[in-house]
A = this chain, B = another copy of it.
Amino acid sequence: MTADQLVTSQSDERSVGLVETVTATLFEPPGALQLASGETIGPVAVAYETYGQLSPARDNAIFICHALTGDAHAAGIHSADDKKPGWWDGFIGPGKGLDTDEYFIICANVLGGCQGTTGPGSLIPNSNDRYSSAFPVITVGDIVEVHAALVRHLGIERLLGVIGGSLGGMQVLEWAGRFPDQLASAIVLASAARLSAQGIAFNAVGRRAILSDPAFNNGHYYDGDQPRYGLALARMLAHITYLSETSIEMKFGRRLQNSDEFAYDLQAETEFEIESYLHYQGKRFVERFDANSYLRLTKAMDYFDLADSYSGLANALGKTDARFLLQSYSTDWLFPTSQSKELVAALIESGRHVTFAELDSPFGHDSFLLELDQLEDLVIPFLAQTQQEIRRQVPPTI
């Protein structure tokens, strides 16, 4: 995500305003979470934020699944002088795509993350040690188990919708397969039923960069230096895959950063504007992200294969009666349109209601964070129709 492009004005009247990240503790003894790997973990702290009001019928809740490096802070600001609103602030608020005048929005940091939810940097229960390398390898299914438990913990039986882009979209798909009755609609943006082999390849190189950084020290670096060279490198590489060739050409081209002439100096690592930009992204990333989390979340992404987990895509998606909205982006080469179309075919095969659109955008994979007007045009009526259907099915009990 190109966070610098997402900063909106603090004076935005359509902002959700001051918000707070709160923490729920789930999977307390003896109810530890059983992971796909066979290991168990518990208790699990879950950091989340909510925006808007839950309706008395508890039928207006929407859960946001964040992408690889996102967090629970999707909208609003944390203090009056906070200059950086949540990562999807342009899409969440009064009158926005996820309209907080209408809906109760929940966003939680993922299991294995590093922004409040239990992850490798968390303390092991009843211990002064951090999990570090002892934190298990997790799956998208494990992440969704925690999300689903949080929803139940909040007293919500069924969500009006679950929405997410990229790894977030994988969580939405997994949710539909794993807890088919817990959602009335699913919105999947720039995502797929599985990561492509090319995507696995890029993730593998990123992890290699972290693992081969001497500061990584087998994951035990919390008392010393982070493996910041490796983590920055992984981020720089991944960042290229989030942009399209078109957007890189548009934004940077072959322009030099500080000169009209070549430096002929290999130490001038930020000679071209695109180099300088990637270095900046890498540097900023290590200030906010944990390498151990990065390793696990990319691995969860690699492992995700909906068809393999549920004996076929149509089977995975046929158990829910949720309505589906899928959106792909013309220049997204990490999660190309062909993968969305494969999902659409499976949804049709299993008799599901599905709306699909490929949006023509130059911004590549990042489009789901940037092309918000067009997304609004699709999401607002889709959610309204979903709610209308629900309320028609279940007459008010009062």
Contact = CB atoms under 8 A, between A and B. Distances in A.
Interface of A: 36-39, 133, 136-137, 194-198, 200-202, 204-205, 207-209, 211-212, 214, 229, 233, 236-237, 240, 243, 245, 248-249, 252-254, 262, 264-267, 269, 272, 274-275, 278-279, 295-296, 299, 302-303, 305, 333, 336
Contacts of A204: 236, 269, 272, 274-275, 278-279
Contacts of A272: 197, 200, 204, 302
Given A137-B264, A266-B299, A240 B202 contact: yes
Given A39-B264, A136-B264, A266-B295, 12 more contacts: A37-B264, A133-B266, A196-B248, A197-B254, A200-B254, A201-B240, A201-B248, A204-B278, A207-B266, A212-B233, A266-B296, A266-B299
Given A196-B249, A201-B275, A262-B303, A269 B237 contact: no
A249 to B, nearest CB: 5
A274 B208 contact: no
Contacts of A302: 272
Nearest to A137: B264
Contact of A240 (B205, B249, B295, B296): B205
Copies of this chain present? 2
A7 to B, nearest CB: 23
A233 B214 contact: no
A36 to B, nearest CB: 8
14 contacts: A137-B265, A196-B248, A197-B245, A197-B248, A197-B253, A204-B269, A204-B274, A204-B278, A204-B279, A207-B269, A208-B233, A211-B266, A212-B229, A233-B233
A240 B39 CA distance: 34
A195 to B, nearest CB: 8
B198 A240 contact: yes
A249 B198 CA distance: 8
A269 B210 CA distance: 12
Nearest to A303: B262
A212 B216 CA distance: 14
Contacts of A200: 254, 272, 274-275
Contacts of A265: 137
